Amino acid sequence: MIHQPAAAPLGGGGIIPRRMPQSRTDSDPQAASAPRSAHSLREAQAFCARLARDHYENFPVAPLLLPAALRPAVQAIYAFARIADDFADEEVHEGRRAERLDEWGRMLEDCFRGEAIHPAFIALREAVRRHDLPPQPFRDLLAAFRMDVTVRRHPDFASLLGYCRLSADPVGRLVLHLFGHREPRLLAWSDALCTALQLTNHWQDVAVDLGRDRIYLPVDELRRFGVGEEDLRQGRVTEGFRALMREMVGRARALFATGRPLCDAVGGRLRLELRLTWHGGQRVLERIEAGGYDVFARRPRLGTRDGLVVLGRALRWAA
């Protein structure tokens, strides 16, 4: 649950799993370049908090609903993903993206051995120690960032789901872990919800992704509905494109339905978070439909009124 929709999932802005807004890391590209000087834990956690502060709209949990004891860990997870995402996307790293991500991967493995020099990993090392975080979700996220560098098209829906498994699902699993949930059925529901959110983000960001020469609509589905890449680049909303998007929105909805039980299976603040997340993602899909599937003329996104609708639905949720 970090590229999430500008919906209000997990707290007000957008989740997934992953695709984050463009920003020079902490207003300084060098901040992401693994400084070699020592940092205290307090300094490291302040670094992560500062990095997250301006981007809560794409944060996996709302700051007001997040227990104070979990904030440093969540901010460390965010910093890890934020910086890696910059390596994959920011122009300053062009030509060295794979090298940067490989170095980040080595530092991740060092972190789980108890060694850290970068402030993001110093803070993450403490989160790992305090909450017994597993390494695999972080490795999966890094694999997704590497895919962002090398994979620009997905041949079929199965390929896209494989990407979501790496780019979105790990964050949801980490959030559940922080809240003390390890049950396999909850993890499966979380995966479905996170993938649904990631797909929703892809569908609302077709035009944005094209600007980076990335197309997440599966190649075989484009062919089946008679939509060419040139149609996408020209922003042509043909009947074939509408039919394609109707199908893709339906698949996201099916995954939301699969993940819905998670919202009733947890308690406390996390329950409200998840209900907001679920309804936020659904609202973005409604916006896509209301716009006649024209995601080129105007990016479907949620405003203040939508937020109130999402909140009202979450509060009226029938358990």
Tell me the per-residue pLDDT of 222-273, one tens digit each, with 9 for 90 and over: 999 999 999 999 999 999 999 999 999 999 999 999 999 999 999 999 999 9
* Cα separations in angstroms, 156 against 59, 141, 199, 223, 252: 29, 21, 14, 11, 15
Find the distance separating the first CA and the last CA of the chain, reported in whole Å.
Answer: 22
Confidence at residue 89, expressed as pLDDT on a 0 to 100 scale: 87
What band does 301 get if pLDDT is binned at 50, 70 and 90? confident
Give yes or no for residue 38 having a pLDDT over 70. no
d(CA 282, CA 284): 5
Give percent of the chain above pLDDT 90: 77
Write out 132-184 in H/E/C secondary structure. Answer: CCCCHHHHHHHHHHHHHHHCCECCCHHHHHHHHHHHCHHHHHHHHHHCCCCCH
Q: Which domain holds residue 34?
A: 9-315
Residue 37 counted as domain residue? yes
Residue 86 counted as domain residue? yes
Give yes or no for residue 22 having a pLDDT over 60. no
Task: State the total domains in the chain.
Answer: 1
**Averaged over 73-95, what is the pLDDT?**
92
Give yes or no for residue 159 having a pLDDT over 50. yes
d(CA 116, CA 15): 27
Residue 4 counted as domain residue? no
Residue 199 counted as domain residue? yes
Residue 3 counted as domain residue? no
CATH code at position 137: 1.10.600.10
Residue 90 counted as domain residue? yes
d(CA 117, CA 34): 7
Backbone angles phi, psi at 211, to 5 degrees: -65, -20
Tell me the per-residue pLDDT of 172-223, one tens digit each, with 9 for 90 and over: 999 999 999 999 999 999 999 999 999 999 999 999 999 989 999 999 999 9
Confidence at residue 53, expressed as pLDDT on a 0 to 100 scale: 81
Residue 101 counted as domain residue? yes
Cβ pair 263, 310 in contact under 8 A: no
Confidence at residue 62, expressed as pLDDT on a 0 to 100 scale: 54
Residue 129 counted as domain residue? yes
Cβ pair 10, 274 in contact under 8 A: yes
Mean pLDDT across the chain: 87
What band does 318 get if pLDDT is binned at 50, 70 and 90? low
Please report how the helices 71-89 and 136-150 are oriented relative to each other, as an axis angle in degrees rounded to 10: 20
Confidence at residue 24, expressed as pLDDT on a 0 to 100 scale: 41
